[in-house]
Structure 1
Amino acid sequence: MSQKLVSARIATAGKILSREIEARGWTQKDLAEIIGRPVQTINEIIRGSKQITPETAIELSQALSTSFEFWTSLEAKYQVHLVVSQKT
């Protein structure tokens, strides 16, 4: 018997970003000012209506002392999850 295993929960990049902001005591506006983006962009990423682009991943990595690969990987995994879940 062959079963396809699907993750029950996947953390979105926006959810992780929200936690990172909160852990630092920042607001979305604070992060937006730090990376030079509109606060709407940060809000849309957190809500999941906007993807993290490579450029934004670099800016987030610099602001949050993480790697840009961390953010691009989170985003890519989430997008793959969406495609797989739509096909099952």
Structure 2
Amino acid sequence: MTNMLAVELPAIHPGEILREEYLVPLNLSAGALARRLQVPRTRIERIVAEETGITTDTALRLARFFRTTPDFWMNMQVGYELAVARTEKADAIAAIEPLEAA
């Protein structure tokens, strides 16, 4: 068995995916999507600007509109948050001594 190095990829904000994989190809503005989702325009604008994350409410609405699942959007959000925290808290986490088996 070979020893493979883990490659840490940069965290990708769900807003980037929403913008680049959905809005741009569909030529759909954040405002137009917000109207279709029945949410404030600023909510979608902040997500695609990568200023805020996707809430469960937004995940439900995006899933319905784009025929995906809420899990798809929430997993993307959680994955992003974990990647950011892993980087930001690396030293503090490394300093924790794991529990030894008795």
TM-score past 0.5 threshold: yes
Separation (CA, whole Å) in 1 of partners of 2:52 and 2:79: 15
Corresponding residue number in structure 2 for 1:12: 13
TM-align CA RMSD: 1.9
Identity among equivalent positions (%) equals: 22
Larger radius of gyration: 2
Give a deviation string over 1:49-70, Cα, whole Å, max 9, x none: 2111111100001111111111
Please, which of 41, 53, 56 is the counterpart of residue 54 of structure 1?
56
Q: Is the 8 A contact 2:11 2:84 kept in 1?
A: no
Q: Does 1:26 align with 2:40?
A: no
Runs of at least 4 residues off by over 3 Å: none
Q: Flag the structure with higher helix content.
A: 1
Give a deviation string over 1:18-75, Cα, whole Å, max 9, x none: 0211111111111000001111111111122211111110000111111111100000
TM-score for both structures, normalised by structure 2: 0.76
Structure 2: unaligned runs, 5 residues or longer: 91-102
